[in-house]
Every structure is written in C-alpha cells, then in structure tokens.
Structure 1
Amino acid sequence: MKYELEKLIRNKTFLITSVISLVAIVGIFLVGYYYSQVSYAEQGNADKGYPNFYSDITSMHAGDFNDQKVKEVLSDYMDRYQKHIDVEERPFDVFSWYIAEVFFPKGKDAYSKMGEAMESGEKISFDELDIRSVQDVGFASFDNPLKLGAYNTWGDLFLVTNSMFLLAVLFVIFICSSVFASESARNINQLLLSTKYGRGKLTAAKIITATGVSILIFVVIQLISFLFFYYYYGISGWDASIQTNFSFKLYDFPMEMNNLEVYLLVIGVQMIGVLSIVGMTLLISSMTKSPSISLAISLGAFFLPYMLGKIFQTGTIVKILNLFPIQHYQMEEMLTMMETDIVFFLKAFIPNVILTICFSLVIMLVTEVIIYFKMKYSYVK
C-alpha cells in the first residue's frame, strides 16, 4: 500500500490535477463568496455609510419564525426603504428583500406604492399592504417553531458545496482512471500478475489506496471550503431552519432540520457517492488498456445518468437514475427529489436517503469484488 500510495501521488496526472484543482477552488471562491450577492451588497452598503449592515440586520431579526416575525422584518424593511427617496443613499437589505419577495402581495407592486407615497411625502405601513401569512405561503410546521437566521450566507455555502463536489469527483476520476489502465498501457501486467502477491494483495492494495486517497481528496476540498466560509462569513445562522432559507424556497420541506444539519447530510451523501464513483472508475480502468480511454469512459459513465434524466422525467427509469451521485450535486434538487415517491422509490425523506446510501455502497462493493476476482483469475500471456 505504501508503494501504491507513492506511485499514485508521484504520478504526473495527480500533480497536474492538484494544481488545476487549486486554481479552480480559487475561482469558485471568488464567484461563490467574494462576488456573491451578500458581499456585493455589503461593499455597497459600506460605501453608503452602513458597515456590517447584513450582520446587524440578521442579528436583529434572528429568532422564532412566525407571522409576528414577518411583520417585524417587513415593517423595519419598509421604514428603511421609505427613508431615502434617492436610491443611491438607500442600503440594500438583501436579508429582508428575499422575505419581502415571498410575503408581499402577489399581483400588486408594493414598491411602486411605497415610491408614490414617498413622492407625496408620506409613508405606507405594513398594515396597509395585504401581506401573506406563514400559513398562506405553505411553510412546514412542527412541534418546535421554525427558526430564522442568516440564511443568505448559508445559501452561498450550499452553492459552493455543489461546485466543490463536482471538482472533487473530477479529481477522483482523473487519478483513479489510470490505476490499472496505466500498467496495461505499459505492458507490465504480465510481470505484476506473475509475482507472488500480484493477483491478490497488490490488487487489494490498489483498491484500498485509491479509495483512501479519494476520500481524503473529497474531505480536504470540502474542509477548505467550509474553513473559508467560516473565515469570510462566520457561522451565524447555522441553527436557522432550512425552511426559512429563502435562497432555496424549501418552505414545505417535511424534515425539521437546520442549515448545519442539512449541510452535514449533503456532505455525507456526497461522500458515499464518491465511493461508488471510485468503484466504477477502478472497474473501467481494469477493463481498458489506455488511461485516456479509461478517463473518457469514466467521465461518460458519471454524467450519463444526468443526461438521461433530462430525457426521462417519470417512471421507474428516472427513479433509478436519481440514485446515482451526479443527481445529488445540487443540494436543493437533492432534497426536493428525496421527499417524494414521484421521482424516488419511497414516500419519505429519510428512507430515500438510506436507500441512496445503500445503493452507492452496493455499487462500490460489487465493483471492487469484480475487480479483485477479475485480476486474480485473469489470463497472463
């Protein structure tokens, strides 16, 4: 295993992919955090004389989410909005804006009404608008009240996590596709398989090493992402309900979970999915004689369920396709799919999560067993 680890890490593909991944991470962070709506609004608000505006607003309104909380948020939002006729002087309240988009009356432009009142030197109050209730919107209800907090920043983390998952998977496929295929390309399989441990321990060492390195890659990439998120935003809002994360509109999500719990769940499901990807990639690598061919087939196998999912929208086929890891790279769609049996096999969220995990683990185990016995009993010329 030590030999296989050194060979894997010293491989040019690993080194080049590592450099490319670091550059990609920087790009993802720039788009996901530095140029995010929250960051852009905060920079503008600071220039207008409102430093730390977002954190002040979220701290002020954090707490139990109900109709009274909606009234507090929107009343303060309307007061601040109507204080400044000049848009250039008005702070952009990204926290309250998303909430207003949900609760302001549909079909009536509340902003036009406030603008008209401001031109007349008057103000419109919360009670003058037909504000929707929490029940009207359709929020899920539990024994404990929903919590409201800094949801925008966690929305940014979820979006970055989606991109980091794809980056980690591509990294894993690039390095695993050459584990067996590179030796076939160099015609040294005859030598390796003819040694005492070439058919057994060496194959197992390759599988274990590739799996371990792949898990480490995924963990390190996601850990870098979370640490940067913690440094840039902090973790305020971790205990806010996922239903009140207005970035994703999961108002009726049936599970009582907060942002941190959803994040950990998504990371867990994605990591198990990576294990199945490792198994499939190693199997393809063991059946091909060229790393480039192995890479092309492995990438195609990874993206194929997603492309077929665009063709098949209902029925058993789409339910099977939704079990594959590529379908779970988007947090919002993953949670939405797993809460119903329309596009998943079971009727409840947790059973569908368990089914997905078991499916990935079965793929990993089956592919690795096939690899082991294929190499053990393969014919050497």
Structure 2
Amino acid sequence: MNFLLVPDKFKGSLSAKQVIAAIGRGVSSIFPKAEMYKVTASDGGDGFLDSVRHYMQLETIKVNTLDPLGRKINTEYLLNKQTAEAYIELAKASGLELLRNEERDPLQTSTIGTGIQIKEAVLKGAKKIYIGLGGSATNDAGLGIAAALGFSFQDEFGNLLKPIGGNISKINTINPSEFLKDYKNLEIYAVNDVDNPLFGPTGAAYVYSAQKGANKEDIELLDKGLKHLHATVKKEMGKDYADIPGSGAAGGAAYGLKTFLNADFISGTNFIFELAGIHKILKSTTIDFIITGEGKIDEQTLRGKLIHGVCQLGKSYNIPIIVICGVSEVNAKHLEEMGYVEVIEIRDTSMPLSYSIDNASGLIELAIAKFLKNQIKR
C-alpha cells in the first residue's frame, strides 16, 4: 500500500509535521510495510516558511518589526542571495496568534509589520518576493504594508491617517511612494488559496473579521470601508482589483499587494506541490490513498484552502482522499463534490473540547488505524 500524506496543521494543537507523524503511526499499525510519501505543506498561511524551508536551502534573516498593534517584535523571513528571492509569511508580523483574545480588533490592527519585512528584504537585495498570506489579525486591505513602503493616506481635511482597518473609510487622498521609485523591477507574489473578493457577503470583512475580534457593527463598518477604499483607488490610481478572486485574502492584504506593489496572485497549494514534487510522485507511483486534514473543516475550507487543493489533486488523478479533522462543520455533500472518500472527526463528544485538543496526536493515530482496518474488512 502506498500513501501520500499532505495534511495542514491542527491549529492550536499540532503542527503539520506532528499531524504527519500521527497519521504515519496509524497507517503503520495496520500496514507495517506501507510506503508513505510525506509532504510538509501550506496554502500560504501559517506554516508557509516552514514548508519552504523544508524544501529549499535558504538563509534565515532576523528583523526588528512591529506586531499587528504596533508593538516592537523580532521575527524572520527567508532569503536566497544568489537568486535574489525572499520568502515572507504575513502571519509572522501581522498574525492573529501574536495577539491575546482580548486584543483582537481588526479596526485597530495593521499589516505595517509585514511591510517593514518586505522593505528590509528589498534593501538586502531581494528582487522577487513571495508573501504567504493567511492567519492575519488584520482587515486593513494592506494599507500597513503600503505605508511601510512609502505610501501615505490622508482624510478629506489633509490629516495623515494611521494605516489601520478603522481608518479605511476615511481615506480621501493616496500619496505615492518615493521609496519604490528606485525599485521599479520588483516582482511580488501574493501566495494564497482563498478566492474571496475584497468586499461583499463573501469578502474579507464578512467572512474573516469575526474571528479577528469584529462584532456585527464592526463587520459592516469594515466592509463599507473596503468599498470606499476600492472607489478611492479607482479614482486616485485607476486600478480596479476588488473583484479578482483572492483579493480578500488576509483581510484584503492581497488586494493591497496588487494595488500598491503590482503583485501577482499564485496558488499556495500549487506552489508547495511544485516544491515537493508531488506531481512527479503521482505520475511515477501508484498511490492508494491521499490523507489530508486540518483542525476544523468549515466553509473557509471550501473557498480554496489546502484541503480543497489536495482534494482537487486527488480528483484529477482519481485517487481516493481521506480527510481527518478535529471537527467538521461542512455539509458532506459539498465535500463529496471535492472528491473525498471520507471525513474522519477525531473529537470525543463525551469529553470537553480541550481533551481532543490535548490528545489530538493519539486520536489521529487511532482514527486512521480504525478507518484502514475497516477498509480491509470491506
């Protein structure tokens, strides 16, 4: 039996590598001689640097920057000086996990810390920069990134605006970057797999900002702000990117990267698949099952996250998919359309959620073993 293991992390519980290890133990307990091809993957969100680092020899660059609330932090990005390529994970400076629950507020957070990282990479000679999106604490449409690279924003009275989510609706004038005039040949790539537009019912604010601390009124305000920004950008810059699939990624940071830095959007899943050589594996080896998974499967999963990409991969090669998760909140019929075989929830409903989180590794191992054992009986 041959297995391809391509799970995401179980957020707050296990890293992708730990999930792979647990799945591997479960498979080995039933098929001791099974061949397992293990892929450390990311859809561009949290874990992007770990995935890239796993497949490429790159220098780790430490940088002083700011967290989503403007506090000083030290974080990292990856650099290849020979090819002048840099890899940045937005969540490292602008991520939700940098904030305590009570600090989450997309009206006050900014991506300026990620912008500082981008600027530092440019100053170190990077000419091609890949930015993994996802896990953001922000809904500022990338204004913070733009501000760190020299853009500024003013209200109708000429007052300089802080680049935070709550100020988007106040923008009247966009002042261009002097810094970027010296770096006209930069290649910027926004790496992510969601297909959300900038605003509207499936946009950045309505789909993602609640988990970042926004209440109903905040969400409405943020969405109106994103619409206002789009109109202002069209008027001031002649650019119209709000409806491009994926522009709503990372609180609209993808939109900001495209608008202010002329970024191209690329699929995070496909990017990692190419690094890992997955297509070569699938073309040269008969794979019996692809096993993927993440902590919670919800509507966001269907909008282009890692599992969606893995399921599409399995469907194209006609390989059955096993999806393991802590909990699933998605209608099974929707997942069937993605080409999966079975979704396995590891949670023990008789115990508190904390039990499943604390014991996720063992529960994954047991769940995989049980599923494969039942497959043998069929």
TM-score range, shorter chain: under 0.3
TM-score, with structure 2 as normaliser: 0.24
- Answer 1 or 2: which has greater helix percent: 1
More strand by share: 2
Q: Which has the larger radius of gyration?
A: 1
Taking structure 1 as the reference length, what is the TM-score of the superposition?
0.24
